[in-house]
Every structure is written in C-alpha cells, then in structure tokens.
Structure 1
Amino acid sequence: MSVCGFRFMTFPLRLLSFVSSCALLVGCGPTDQSAPSKNADEAAAGLTPVIMQTDWFPQAEHGGFYQALARGFYREAGLDVDVRPGGPSSHVRLRVARGDADFGLLRSDDTAMAISQGLPLVMVAASLQHDGEALLVHADSPVQDFSDLDGQTVMAPLSMVWVSYIQKKYDVVFKLVPTTYGLASFFADPALVRSCYLTSEPFLAQERGVPVRALPLIDAEYDAYAGVVVRRELVRSSPELVRAFVAATLRGWEDYLNGDPSPADTLILERNPQMSQGQLDYSRAALIEHSMVAGFPEKGERIGAIDMGRLQHEIDRLREFDALAKALSAEDIATLEFLPAAK
C-alpha cells in the first residue's frame, strides 16, 4: 500500500483539487457501480445496508474490516456491510462526501485537507494509530537518516505533503521523481530512494533477495492516523448506525490481531488475486511489530482511539507547511462521540 489516497503539497494543487472535487460532488450522483445497494433479504432480516470504501486493494491493512465481516460481527450489530476495494483512483473522500459510500478509509492529513476544502467529512475512529508510510533504501545506501537525503533522488507521488515537510525540517533538497507502481526501477538503481509502506514493499524486496532498509516517517515526527470517515449528515441522522459500525470494526481489529486471522485472510485472498498468504502474514506481523493498529499503550493509545491533542498538532504542522487552505481545529476534523471510553 504505497499510496493511500491523494495528498496535496502546494496551494495551486489544492485549489485544482478543490475545483475538481466540487465539480464531482455537485455534478455526479451515485453510479450503478458505487451507489448503495438495497438487499431485500437482508432488509427483511432487519439488517441495515452499509458501504465501507477502502483506500486500496484488499490487504492486511484492512484486516479488521474483513475480520468483522467474516466473523459476523457486523451482522450481530444489525449491519449488512459491503467492504469495497479501492485502488490508485479510489476517490474515497468524494465517494463518502456525496453519499456513494457510508464510511471510508482516509488518512488524517488527507481528511484535514478535504475538510479545509469544504467537504462535509468527519473522522469517527482510527483504523491505524500510525500510518506506515516510509522511505525505502538499499541496505548499503549512505542514507541513514532523513538528513542524508540532500542531493539524493527520491521516487514518491509528487503531491505528498511529507515531501515539503522533510525538506524544510531537515534543510535538504532532493530530486523528486514520480512513483512507478512497481519496484523494478528501485532494484535496478542502488542509489534510488523511494516511498514505501512498512507492510508491503520491504516484503517484495525480501522476496527478490534484495537487502533493504526502511525509514518510517514517524521517525521524522510526521505521524498521521489512517481514519474511518463519514459524512457529517450521517452522524446527525443515524448516530446509532455509526456507533454500531465503529464498535464492530474495533472488535474486528482486536480479533484479527490477537486471534485467528484466517477468516479475514480467506476473504482478502478471494477478493484480491494478486495477494499471497506470505504477504498477508508479513503485513500482519508488521502491523503488530510497529504498533500501527494498537498504538503505544504507554502513550494512552489503543485500537480505534483518537487523541485530539495529537490531531491538533498534526493540523498545526500542515498549516505551518502551507498544506491547508484554512485554519482548523481538531474538533473540525474528528469526533470522539462514537469511541468507547478508555478502560
């Protein structure tokens, strides 16, 4: 999962995105492919149809949702959930904002930018306490830290917010080249640095026998949530539905990490022919090793939790690096209303 949605780095890009988003939001209604479907049998059984739009193809990073689906946690909560795969053009923010999906998976920095551009979204839970974006280097690369990036060539999506953040924080300048969806160019160039995800590309390099290292962005204090977002109207009109979905999803994550992950794995493998059991095992282990889902208990983090102080710090950083169209508060971005109280 190298790209988790869309990230904007400069104001012109944000403005272009805002105009495009508004056009799509106003001019495009639900399509046959993405519109919520009503299943007569499920409705008769008293289940409420719900669409959850993910940000990428089925993978371990979505394990909690698929575990809740496979184990029947959503049905027990009265919900008939359709977990829909994403991809390079997921348009999660737009699909949720215009009602094509009820819930979506979106990073907290992307959520803040979408809300600053006028999209009526709110984050109701964290799917990942810590997003796994990182930089991948060859094992013998002279790049040991972000401060070593000066003069290097870095392959990453051109609109990534963290690019300007790293350059300013470490006072470095590097050549930025657009990402290709594959590792062939990285394998061919021992000097190349490229963006990666802790749960994915290191495994692919390992499979090829290429020794690599990863520099997690969290080590540079760029620390985003992967959040579950909804339309604000759904929060107002159907709070119990939101509460039920969040509770069942957190139960799914708890079970996927600490129980038998095979129910979710089976669904993921069925829905993503490119996925392998080896990749799922590696990714789940990485989710646990890096505390990406459960967070760090010593910091008060836990599955699903949102720290409003941390979120405000992230927003302030985005403003500092000119990534937000206007000032926002954490309360503009997220609500704790649907999360269980800390034990």
Structure 2
Amino acid sequence: MFSFFALAASLVFAGCGRSDNTVTLSKSEEGLTRLVMQSDWFPQAEHGGFYQALARGFYREAGLDVTINPGGPGSHVRLKVSRGDADFGMLRSDDLAMSVAQGLPLVMVGALMQHDGEALLVHADSPVRDFADLDGQTVMAPLSMVWVSFIQKKYGISFNLVPVQYGLASFFADPKLVRSCYLTSEPFFAQQQGVPVRALSLIDADYDVYSGLIARRELLRDKPEVVRAFVAATMRGWEDYLTGDPRPADELILKSNPQMSQAQLDYSRAAMIKHGIVKGFPEKEEALGAIKLPRLQHEIDRLREFGALDKNVRAEDIATLDFLPEAARAASAH
C-alpha cells in the first residue's frame, strides 16, 4: 500500500501545511485570478464538467483563469494540492480520510461524483457472481486501493492480489482473472473487442465513496471567495455537460488526449448518467455537488471498523459545506 507516512513526511520537509502560510494567487493580464486544477487521470468524460466550464466560459465569467493539469498513473493529486502546486484536485473520499489522518492539509469542498464507479470486471461466464466468490481468486487491482482490505475483511475471504496493468490484454487472455475497472471505461473496451463481461459494483458491497473536489486549508482560509467561485462554476459545468450539449467539452478533451475517442466519451457520459455517478438519484435526495456528512461519517466508521484507518477522523475534519452552491448545500442537509 502507498505510504501515506512517507507522503506526509515529504510535506514536512517541503514546509507545507503550516498555519503561517499565506496563499497568494496571481492575476492574468485581463485581471482574472489564475488557478490550477489537477485531475486524477488523462482527459476523459469523467472530467467533462471541468472542460465544459472551461470551453463555455463559465470560469471566465466567475473571474477565473483556470488551467486543467492532466493526471495519470503518477499524478500524485494529494501531494500537489497539499504543497500548492495545484489549487484544486480530484480525490476519492476514502483516500482523503487516509490523507487527513496522516496530517495532510486537505478539505473536500464539493462532491464531483455522488457515487464512485469503481467495480470488478469478470468474464460473463465467470463463477464469480458476488464478492464472497472472490475467495481464492486472482484479482488485478491497484495495490493502494483501500477497498481491497475492506472486501476481504467484510466477507472473510482472501484472494491473490496482483498489480494492475493499464490495459486489458491480460484480462482478455485469462478467463479466470478478475480485474478492477470503472463502470464508464473498461466495459466499453470489452464491448469493442466483443468480449462478454459483467461488472460487480463496489456500491453493492456497501463500499460507496464520493469523488471529491479538494483544496488545501490555507486556500479556504485566505481566498474563500475564490473557492466559492470555482466550486460554483465547476458545478455549472457539470450540469451543462450532463444535461446540455457536451460537444464543447468533448472537443477540448479530444484535443488534450489523442488516445481518446468520441465513442468512448459518448459511452462514458451515458454510463455516468445511467448509474447516477455524478448527480446521484433524486429519490435518495442526492444532488450534484452535495456532501452528506452522516454518509461520510459512516464511510469513515467502516474504514476504522475494518482496520483501514487507525485514527479517529470526523466527517467535519475532511469536508465542508461552506463553499457549496445553495441547491447543493440544501441537498446536503437532507
């Protein structure tokens, strides 16, 4: 598992997270406040709201000059935001809880996704029908993922964990292999190759986390109006991307990521809508951007129960509702 202790130590040596740090943000020639947003992966539909806000001028209307830094296997979002190389970033709420427990000065200021789309991909004729069936299987997944130990402890099972490979060749070649996936991505590639598959969503194992929009504490303290403006423009971008014409964002994504295709963007956007990944489900009183602190606390309690988190962290320690647009803040209270 990735060493959060090592990361926290690197921040200490870098002089980050001290309460006497004062945040200063530069201005463009047009007087716009410059901000850097660090994404968690290469440009894709899962970043559509950011690119829509950029392409449609929502950030500019809010007085912001935003640069979106693409991520990848070594994006180190938590490190870059903590030390100020980026002003905002994307981070799952389970990873955020672990990071804050280790002393990183990070706070979630909005939920980019109400439900994380992490799942396990199996071949259609695999005997694995439920998570308990993973006992004794070989599972390919990122070694740092918190859900790995959660699943094994919850179901009283053990499986052979192997490092994930960023491609599906090994999965296609081995009908017994179980692989971590994202509901908006790997099933698409399997479909393109004509390989029948099924996906077990981690939500069905009661492992339901947010994908959060994070910032460092000093930025919230020193530039609250900037944080509020960025959150509002980003949520506006997501609403427009999912319910309006996604082509402005798609054009930027395709330009920024030559490996992306329009077919994949279309599939991923449809999957996000179908599974309620970004906006959640109205019948559950979920809404774009909303953070339900009791749900977040339940997630933290489960992490502690299954030994993934050894420090007592409260939901209020890792998230705030203060910068949400009014509609999202109201939904958070239900």
- Shorter-chain TM-score: what band? over 0.9
Is 2:101 the partner of 1:108? no
Structure 2 unmatched ranges of 5 or more: 17-22
In structure 2, the CA distance between the partners of 1:38 and 1:119, relative to structure 1 (3 Å rule), is closer
Within a 5 Å distance, the mapping from 1:311-330 to structure 2 comes to 311-330=296-315
Partner residue in 1 for 2:179: 194
Partner residue in 1 for 2:10: 23
Q: For 2:74 and 2:24, how far apart are their aligned partners in 1?
A: 21
Is 2:108 the partner of 1:123? yes
| Deviating 4+ runs (over 3 angstroms) | 36-39
Is 2:183 the partner of 1:212? no
Partner residue in 2 for 1:159: 144
Contact 1:64 1:254 in 2 (8 A): yes
Out of 274, 286, 289, the position equivalent to 1:304 is 289
Q: For 1:72 and 1:163, how far apart are their aligned partners in 2?
A: 40
Q: Secondary structure at the match of 2:259?
A: coil
Q: For 1:175 and 1:95, how far apart are their aligned partners in 2?
A: 32
In structure 2, the CA distance between the partners of 1:91 and 1:210, relative to structure 1 (3 Å rule), is same
2:14 corresponds to which letter in structure 1?
G
Q: Which digits, 9 at most, give the CA deviation of each residue in 1:114-158, with x for residues without a partner?
A: 100000010000111111100000011111111111121111112
Partner residue in 2 for 1:49: 34
Q: Secondary structure at the match of 1:106?
A: strand
Contact 1:25 1:94 in 2 (8 A): no
Out of 75, 82, 93, the position equivalent to 1:97 is 82
Contact 1:53 1:101 in 2 (8 A): yes
- Residue 38 of structure 1 and its aligned partner are, at CA, apart by 8.2
Contact 1:50 1:102 in 2 (8 A): yes
Report the count of equivalent residues.
322
Q: For 1:255 and 1:197, how far apart are their aligned partners in 2?
A: 23
Deviates more, 1:320-329 or 1:45-54: 320-329
Deviates more, 1:181-190 or 1:152-161: 152-161
Q: Secondary structure at the match of 1:44?
A: coil
Q: For 2:302 and 2:170, how far apart are their aligned partners in 1?
A: 32
2:113 corresponds to which letter in structure 1?
L
Partner residue in 1 for 2:48: 63
In structure 2, the CA distance between the partners of 1:276 and 1:27, relative to structure 1 (3 Å rule), is same
- TM-score, normalisation: structure 1: 0.90
Q: For 1:148 and 1:325, how far apart are their aligned partners in 2?
A: 28
Q: Secondary structure at the match of 2:180?
A: strand
- Residue 180 of structure 1 and its aligned partner are, at CA, apart by 1.1
Out of 211, 221, 239, the position equivalent to 1:254 is 239
Out of 253, 257, 279, the position equivalent to 1:294 is 279
Q: Which digits, 9 at most, give the CA deviation of each residue in 1:87-133, with x for residues without a partner?
A: 00111101101111100100001111110000001000011111110
Q: For 2:261 and 2:11, how far apart are their aligned partners in 1?
A: 35
Q: Secondary structure at the match of 2:90?
A: strand
Q: For 2:196 and 2:240, how far apart are their aligned partners in 1?
A: 33
Within a 5 Å distance, the mapping from 1:2-13 to structure 2 comes to 8=1
Q: Secondary structure at the match of 1:210?
A: coil
Contact 1:25 1:97 in 2 (8 A): no
Q: CA RMSD in A?
A: 1.7
Q: Secondary structure at the match of 2:311?
A: coil
1:23 corresponds to which letter in structure 2?
S
- Residue 176 of structure 1 and its aligned partner are, at CA, apart by 1.2
- Residue 37 of structure 1 and its aligned partner are, at CA, apart by 12
Contact 1:37 1:49 in 2 (8 A): no
Is 2:131 the partner of 1:146? yes
Contact 1:134 1:217 in 2 (8 A): yes
Identity, % of aligned positions: 72
Contact 1:117 1:325 in 2 (8 A): no
Structure 1 unmatched ranges of 5 or more: 1-7, 30-35
2:295 corresponds to which letter in structure 1?
R
